[in-house]
């Protein structure tokens, strides 16, 4: 959960990213729909207040919200998951969450979804529907169970590797050194960057549109560029920049133990 901004709750045109992968999120809080013959998979719910916008986007594409069979999340922060229990109740979708984010996902504390998780996921688990497979990669640090999703998208004659980054961000207030609630947090970020650097990527996507330049690329696509979201260089540059930001903050905190990120 980063700094709130007006894009979080703003409607954004629903569109096909490639193949059977669609964008149905807001102007910054990304929600993905994977369409299959057995129904749809949704990744993220955003806040409860955003659900009407997401439902509208699903309908704009000609899909049915009621056909949601599986619900996944990037990580257990309200801007991505506050509405999961509502979606699960309204559609009967099976909610699947990485083990280390389970408690937060099932928590009914203010701002938490209080959802029932139907399947507990572990690193490398495959989620499958209608012949399509998504792989759950544990990329912890931002949350203990932060998940990066990958899938292969058939787009005409080509097969594209999609990467939906969970979050590599060190949020304001995060303690990377001497964190009693999460002692291994810094080592987890290190693991996360190793994983992110190992993933083949054509379609660079993520939990927030700002990660991958949603608006600019959407305009390029509207302008006639069918490859606007294919950006392997952008992905590598983004991961490198996020890693160096993390390492700089980690080094600062090692010099100043107990001084959280700003
Ligand atoms: Zn977050």
Question: Quick one: pLDDT at residue 150?
Answer: 98
Is residue 225 assigned to a domain?
A: yes
Has residue 2 got a pLDDT over 70?
no
Tokens of 82: 């506050």
Q: How far is the CA of 76 from the centre of ligand 1 (A)?
A: 7
pTM of the model: 0.97
If you average pLDDT over residues 33-59, what whole number do you get?
98
Has residue 1 got a pLDDT over 60?
no
Is residue 216 assigned to a domain?
A: yes
The pLDDT mean for the chain works out to 97
Question: Quick one: pLDDT at residue 143?
Answer: 98
Question: Quick one: pLDDT at residue 67?
Answer: 98
Q: How far is the CA of 142 from the centre of ligand 1 (A)?
A: 6
Q: How far is the CA of 100 from the centre of ligand 1 (A)?
A: 14
Has residue 192 got a pLDDT over 70?
yes
Q: How far is the CA of 2 from the centre of ligand 1 (A)?
A: 6
How many structural domains is the chain composed of?
1
If you average pLDDT over residues 225-251, what whole number do you get?
98
Has residue 17 got a pLDDT over 80?
yes
Q: How far is the CA of 156 from the centre of ligand 1 (A)?
A: 34
Is residue 262 assigned to a domain?
A: no
Residue 174 — very low, low, confident or very high, per pLDDT cuts 50/70/90?
very high
Q: How far is the CA of 75 from the centre of ligand 1 (A)?
A: 7
Domain of 202, in residue numbers: 6-255
Q: How far is the CA of 211 from the centre of ligand 1 (A)?
A: 12
Question: Quick one: pLDDT at residue 5?
Answer: 84
Has residue 187 got a pLDDT over 90?
yes
Distance (Å, whole) CA 192 – CA 139 = 4
The Cα-based distances of 63 to 31, 49, 115, 246 in angstroms read 14, 21, 24, 39
Question: Quick one: pLDDT at residue 3?
Answer: 56
Question: Quick one: pLDDT at residue 71?
Answer: 98
pLDDT tens digit sequence for 134-172: 999 999 999 999 999 999 999 999 999 999 999 999 999
Is residue 261 assigned to a domain?
A: no
Q: How far is the CA of 170 from the centre of ligand 1 (A)?
A: 9
Is residue 11 assigned to a domain?
A: yes
Is residue 82 assigned to a domain?
A: yes
Q: How far is the CA of 200 from the centre of ligand 1 (A)?
A: 23
Q: How far is the CA of 32 from the centre of ligand 1 (A)?
A: 16
- The domain that contains 130 carries what CATH number? 3.60.15.10
Phi, psi of 105 (to 5 degrees): -70, -35
Is residue 150 assigned to a domain?
A: yes
Q: How far is the CA of 37 from the centre of ligand 1 (A)?
A: 32
Q: How far is the CA of 243 from the centre of ligand 1 (A)?
A: 16
């Amino acid at each position: 959960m980063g700094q709130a901004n007006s894009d979080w709750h703003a409607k954004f045109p629903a569109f096909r990213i490639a193949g059977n992968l669609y964008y149905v999120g807001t102007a910054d809080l990304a929600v993905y729909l994977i369409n299959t013959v057995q129904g749809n998979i949704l990744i993220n719910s955003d806040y409860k207040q955003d659900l009407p916008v997401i439902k509208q986007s699903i309908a704009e594409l000609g899909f049915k919200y009621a056909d949601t069979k599986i619900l996944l999340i990037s990580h257990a922060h309200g801007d991505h998951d506050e509405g999961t229990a509502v979606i699960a109740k309204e559609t009967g979708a099976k909610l699947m969450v990485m083990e280390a984010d389970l408690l937060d996902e099932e928590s009914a504390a203010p701002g938490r979804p209080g959802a029932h998780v139907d399947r507990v996921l572990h690193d490398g688990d495959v989620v499958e529907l209608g012949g399509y497979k998504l792989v759950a990669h544990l990329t912890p640090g931002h949350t203990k169970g932060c998940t990066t999703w990958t899938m292969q998208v058939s787009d005409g004659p080509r097969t594209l590797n999609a990467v939906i980054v969970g979050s590599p961000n060190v949020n304001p207030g995060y303690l990377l050194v001497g964190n009693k609630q999460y002692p291994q947090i810094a080592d987890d970020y290190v693991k996360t960057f190793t994983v992110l650097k190992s993933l083949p990527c054509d379609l660079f996507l993520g939990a927030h549109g700002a990660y991958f330049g949603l608006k600019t690329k959407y305009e390029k696509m509207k302008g006639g560029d069918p490859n606007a979201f294919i950006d392997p260089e952008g992905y590598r540059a983004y991961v490198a920049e996020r890693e160096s930001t993390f390492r700089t903050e980690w080094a600062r905190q090692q010099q100043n133990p107990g001084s959280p990120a700003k």
